[in-house]
Amino acid sequence: MCTIAGAGRAENLWLDRGRTGVPDKVATKFKLDTGALTSSMHAEMLERFEKDGENWVRFTLEFEDIDSGKDVETRIERRVERNLKVRGAGGAETRPVVLMKVCLGDKVYEEEFSLNDRDKMNYPVLLGRRTLDKLGLVDTTKTFTVEPSC
């Protein structure tokens, strides 16, 4: 059963940055994107590298923590799950896709996110249909109805 059924088209989430030994979540806002299959997350300074024979990516997450109002910047490394070719008005590009844990409502989800510089966008995180399928119905007339509580 979905724990955020009835959520609106834009909500808050906690993002688990995956570091050990420190408080490791940052609260940010996201928007539902039924036009995208894969979720997307703001990331800067992407650096691809190989580790133990696998493709990895090092990137910087920079969000305003909506709980504190402060900018939070974290350098993260994740294994590349796959590469996603994205086509748009400006042409095509290939983006790395990584697994990240997010808290929505009272449940933690480990989801795939394509990494892209979304610095000029209103929402640093978009949740695509693969994630939306797990959440249940949403009310697109509402926003910010459910607080993360994981």
Q: How many domains does the chain have?
A: 1
CA distance 34 to 129: 6
pLDDT (tens place) for every residue of the chain, 150 residues total = 344 555 666 666 777 766 544 446 777 888 888 888 999 999 999 999 999 999 999 999 887 777 788 888 888 899 999 999 988 777 888 999 999 988 887 888 889 999 998 888 888 888 898 988 887 777 778 877 777 777
146 lies in some domain: no
Asked if residue 76 is part of any domain, the answer here is yes
CA dist 63 → 43, 85, 95, 142, 145 (Å): 9, 25, 20, 23, 21
Domain membership of residue 123 (yes or no) is yes
pTM over cut 0.85: no
Asked if the structure places residue 143 within a domain, the reply is: no
Structural domain that includes position 20: 7-135
CATH number for 118:
2.40.70.10
Asked if 111 contacts 100 with a C-beta cutoff of 8 angstroms, the reply is: yes
